[in-house]
């Protein structure tokens, strides 16, 4: 179904949305969880080498032996301190291999992380990902401490729209339900009917049983959904600054160089890119596609670290890596995760009234039957 329209702040008379990442109030969380811990030793010793040898086995295809002595002391310290703190580490598929394979307790795409966040038993959740992901964990766990190692880890999609913009869209299209990609702030989630991720966007849109929906904020994901359903889609002019950089020409060049190469792409890419891809899916769907098909050579059209994470697991699949990095995801490092555990920072705080409203739209998505 062709798209029914695409809007941005200027079309609604609203102001351009900017979501500065929220600085963390430090004192309250530290009171809540008692004492601060001393920074552990970060020396590379034979003991550190022994204690982390099994973890190096997981990443030896993608992390050189020269780099490991710089990472291993942090990894050992993080894994010990998270037990002492009763903390769990959730990591998105775009986190670097030393985080994804060596310190994460749960790793996955946005949907998997949101679902897993509902099952967490620990007192503290450390979100290795971007701010909207940490907010989603907090929305689903209002009584737990949710920390993000760097609260400046934003997202161009989440920054493209505010709750006020959603209210203006509702005025323009009365009675049309609003679906928000989880790549939005809690303020936006509080104003919409239901959330979705790239794993379930078509299913969520169709679950509403209406002829037209407003789908925000990613115009390219909206176009992809429109191509898969008869429901009319009114979109927002947001875009992912990482995926919008890929071009159809780039993909054609890969195919010219090797006609047998497999190309798989994330639906945040522009339509000319998706038209050239052999498969389109969320980060988790892309990983499963590579696991199941086991291609000889594959180009992953998404954030660069994901190819490293899959390469670590599947050394015999040749990854072609067009390396577009998400600068926000890359703000999360081992050193900042350790700081998070030692100093309990940076805490994600959401106004309880907004969190309660946002929870309804996230839970409505999670509770959808498959």
If contact means CB under 5 to 8 A according to the sort of partner, which of ligand 13P, ligand SF4, none does residue 109 touch?
ligand 13P
Choose between 72 and 192: whose C-beta lies nearer to ligand 13P: 192
CB of 147 to ligand SF4, least distance (A): 18
In the region spanning residues 304 to 363, those forming contacts with ligand SF4, defined by CB under 6 A, are 326, 328-329
For tokens 């301190």, name the residue: 81
For position 242 contacting ligand SF4 by CB under 6 A, the verdict is yes
- Tell me if 219 sits within 8 A of 235, measured CB to CB: yes
If contact means CB under 5 to 8 A according to the sort of partner, which of ligand 13P, ligand SF4, none does residue 93 touch?
ligand 13P
Strand order in the sheet with 87-92: 106-108, 87-92, 124-128, 145-147
For position 19 contacting ligand SF4 by CB under 6 A, the verdict is no
For position 88 contacting ligand SF4 by CB under 6 A, the verdict is no
25 CB-near residues (< 8 Å, 6+ apart):
347, 349
Choose between 145 and 197: whose C-beta lies nearer to ligand 13P: 197
Q: Binding residue for ligand SF4 (CB under 6 A) from 116, 135, 276, 303?
A: 303
If contact means CB under 5 to 8 A according to the sort of partner, which of ligand 13P, ligand SF4, none does residue 22 touch?
none
For position 311 contacting ligand 13P by CB under 6 A, the verdict is no
For position 250 contacting ligand SF4 by CB under 6 A, the verdict is no
For position 183 contacting ligand SF4 by CB under 6 A, the verdict is yes
Choose between 14 and 281: whose C-beta lies nearer to ligand 13P: 281
In the region spanning residues 134 to 193, those forming contacts with ligand 13P, defined by CB under 6 A, are 183
For position 198 contacting ligand 13P by CB under 6 A, the verdict is yes
For position 301 contacting ligand SF4 by CB under 6 A, the verdict is no
Q: Binding residue for ligand 13P (CB under 6 A) from 52, 197, 305, 333?
A: 197
If contact means CB under 5 to 8 A according to the sort of partner, which of ligand SF4, ligand 13P, none does residue 200 touch?
none
62 closest CA partner among 109, 100, 91, 104: 100
Distance CA 100, CA 144 (A): 23
Q: Binding residue for ligand SF4 (CB under 6 A) from 145, 156, 185, 198?
A: 156
CB of 92 to ligand 13P, least distance (A): 6
If contact means CB under 5 to 8 A according to the sort of partner, which of ligand 13P, ligand SF4, none does residue 282 touch?
ligand 13P
Give the binding site for ligand SF4 (CB under 6 A).
130, 155-157, 183, 240-242, 268, 303, 326, 328-329
């Amino acid at each position: 179904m062709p798209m029914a329209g695409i809007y941005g702040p200027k079309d609604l008379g609203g102001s351009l949305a900017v979501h500065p990442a929220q600085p963390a109030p430090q004192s309250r969380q530290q009171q809540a969880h008692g004492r601060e811990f001393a920074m552990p030793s970060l020396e590379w010793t034979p003991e550190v080498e022994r204690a982390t040898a099994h973890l190096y086995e997981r990443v030896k295809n993608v992390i050189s032996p020269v780099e490991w002595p710089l990472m291993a002391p942090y990894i050992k310290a993080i894994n010990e301190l998270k037990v002492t703190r009763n903390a769990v580490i959730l990591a998105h598929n775009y986190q670097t291999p030393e985080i994804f394979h060596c310190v994460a307790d749960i790793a996955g795409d946005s949907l998997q992380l949101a679902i897993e966040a509902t099952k967490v038993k620990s007192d503290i959740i450390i979100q290795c990902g971007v701010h909207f992901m940490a907010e989603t964990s907090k929305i689903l766990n209002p009584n737990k401490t949710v920390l993000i190692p760097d609260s400046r880890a934003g997202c161009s999609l989440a920054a493209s729209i505010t709750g006020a913009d959603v209210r203006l869209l509702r005025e323009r299209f009365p009675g049309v339900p609003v679906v928000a990609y989880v790549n939005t702030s809690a303020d936006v989630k509080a104003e919409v009917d239901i959330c979705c991720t790239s794993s379930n966007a078509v299913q969520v849109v169709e679950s509403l049983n209406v002829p037209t929906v407003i789908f925000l904020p990613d115009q390219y994901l909206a176009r992809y959904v429109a191509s898969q359903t008869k429901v009319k889609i009114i979109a927002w002019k947001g875009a992912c600054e990482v995926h919008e950089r890929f071009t159809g020409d780039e993909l054609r060049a890969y195919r010219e160089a090797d006609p047998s190469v497999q190309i798989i792409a994330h639906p945040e890419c522009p339509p000319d890119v998706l038209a050239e891809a052999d498969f389109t899916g969320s980060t988790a769907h892309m990983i499963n596609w590579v696991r199941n098909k086991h291609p000889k050579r594959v180009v992953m059209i998404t954030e660069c670290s994901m190819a490293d994470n899959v390469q670590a697991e599947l050394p015999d699949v040749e990854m072609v890596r067009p390396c577009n990095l998400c600068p926000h995801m890359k703000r999360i490092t081992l050193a900042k995760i350790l700081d998070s555990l030692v100093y309990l920072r940076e805490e994600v705080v959401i106004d309880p009234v907004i969190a309660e409203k946002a929870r309804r739209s996230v839970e409505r998505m999670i509770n959808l039957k498959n």
